[in-house]
Amino acid sequence: MLKQTIKNFVSRLLAAPPNGPERLARDKHGIDRRLVSRHAIKVCEVLNQHGFDAYIVGGAVRDLIVGLAPKDFDVATNATPAQIRPLFRRARIIGRRFQLVHVVFGQEVIETSTFRAPSSGNQETDEHGRILRDNEFGTHEEDAARRDFTINALYYDPIKEEVIDFHQGVADLKNRVVRMIGDPETRYREDPVRMLRALRFAAKLGARIDPPTEQPITRLAGLIEHVPASRLFDETLKLLTCGHAMDCLRQLRRSGLTQNLMPLIDRIFEEQGGEDFVEIALSRTDARVRSGKPVSPSFLFAALLWRLVHQRWQALANDGLQRTEALIQAADSVIDDQTHKLAIQRRYQSDMREIWLMQARFERATVRSIWRLLDQPRFRAAVDFLQLRAEAREVDSVLAQWWMDLANSSEDRRNQMIDTWQAGHTGARNAPAWRRRKRRPRAAEGAGQSESQA
C-alpha cells in the first residue's frame, strides 16, 4: 500500500503544471459559443451567480475545439452536490462511486460534478487497483490532474469565453496525440476502461497514442475482465458509434482487448467473409454517425454477431433440423455465449433475435406470412439487414430488393406487388388475394423511413 501511495504521489507531481494553467482566449481556442448548449451555459451562470466557479468540461470542450458536434455537455464546479441541487428546479444527486448532480432541462441532462481530488491510495479499491468508491472533493487543479487524458482536462468558461488548460491538452489536440495524465499503468489499474477510451479517442480524432500511454495496454488487457459487464457494454457501444468503428475493432484486436471484451469478434474475423460482413455493416454505421443520424444498438450488435449465427444456423440445418428452428437455436446460443462477457441489454437481445429470425421467413414466404411480417415492429430493420446480406453476397440481391420495395411502398402498391408475387408462386399454399384482411393504416405509416439506424 505504501509503495502504491508513493507511486501515486510521484505521478501527481509529474502531472502537475509547473506554472499554473494556460488560459486561452477565443482567438486561440476557436470555440463558437453559439454551438454550446444553452442549458450548460445556464448551469454555469446560476452557479456563478451564487458565488461558485463552474466550467463546461471534458469531451464537449475537446470536440468543440476540433470542430465536432458534442453529444452531451458536462459541467465541473467547486460546489458540492448538496449545494448544487437546491439551485435548480429539476435536479437529482446520483452515483455511488462518486456523487454528482443531474440537472434536467426537458430532454437534455447536464451532468454537474464537483471538482475531485486525485487518487490518494485511501480509496476503496479491488485487488487489482480498480477504484470502487471515491467521494473525495478537491480543487480545480486537482480535478484536472484526476482526469484521464490531457485532451479531456480542458475547461471552458462560457461567460469569459476562455479555455483553461492545465496539461497542454490543446497542444496535444492540435498535434493529434492521446496522452495520459500521470503514470499510465497506475491510471489503467484505477479504471481499466481507460484503455478502451484511449483507442476510441485515437480512432475518432485520427490521432496517435503517446508511446508511454500505449505501451502498458497489451500487458494489462486482462484487467477488463474485472469491469462490470453493464459498463463494458456502454463503453463498447461508444467505440462502435464513434464514427470510426472498424478502426476501433482492429485496434482492439491488435491490443488483445477483444479476448476479454468481445471474444467472438476474433472468431468472426477468422471466418471466411466474416470481416467483410462486419466492415460493410460498420461502414454504414459510421456514415450515419458522421451525418448526425441515430444508430440502433440492436441492429449494430445483430450485424456484428450475424456471421456466427449464420454459421451455426447452416450447420444445424445441414444436420437435419428444420431451418426456422435451426435459426432459433443458433441465435440463442450466440447471444448466450456473448453475454458472458458483454451485458447486451435484454431489450436489445429481443430486437436482435427478431431481426435474425425474420431472415429465414424472407427466404420462404407465403402470402399470409408476408402480411404478418409487415406487422412486425422490427420489419423495416430486418429488411435493411437483408440488404446487408445481399451486399455481402449471402442472399440474392433481387430478393432483398423486392422486400425493400415492399417496405417502401404504399398500401395499394403493396397489394399489387403481393398479387404479382402470388401469381409467380401458384404452387404455394396461399390464401386468395381477395380474402386478405384490410391493412391497418399504422402499418403503412413511415414505410419509407429506415428503422435500422445503422
Q: Which residues are catalytic?
A: 72, 74, 148
CA distance 330 to 348: 17
Burial of 385 (0-12, 13-18, 19+ CB in 10 A): buried
Give CA 13 to chain center in angstroms: 34
Neighbours of 453 (CB within 10 A): 17
CB 76 within 8 A of CB 155: yes
Exposure of 275 in the CB half-sphere (CA atoms within 13 A): 10
Q: Which three cell numbers stand for residue 394?
A: 449471402
Task: Say whether 191 sits in a helix, a strand or coil.
Answer: coil
Q: Is 4 helix (H, G, I), strand (E, B) or coil?
A: helix
Alpha-carbon gap, residue 234 to 201, rounded angstroms:
15
Q: How far is CA 72 from CA 39, 80, 196, 266, in A?
A: 11, 21, 19, 32
C-alpha cell at 242: 464513434
Residue 384 amino acid letter: D
Closest C-alpha to 183, from 123, 125, 118: 118
The Cα 93–Cα 318 span in angstroms is 56
C-alpha torsion angle, residues 420, 423, 424, 429 (rounded to 10): 120
Bridge-based pairing of strands 74-77 and 91-94 is: unpaired
Long-range contacts of 303-306 (CB under 8 A, 24+ apart): 303/277, 303/278, 303/385, 303/388, 303/454, 304/240, 304/262, 304/265, 304/268, 304/278, 305/264, 305/268, 305/334, 305/335, 305/338, 305/352, 306/277, 306/281, 306/356, 306/385, 306/389
How many residues would you count in the chain?
454
Three cell numbers written together for 327: 435459426
The answer to whether 274 touches 241, Cβ cutoff 8 Å, is no
| C-beta separation of 409 from 402 below 8 A | no
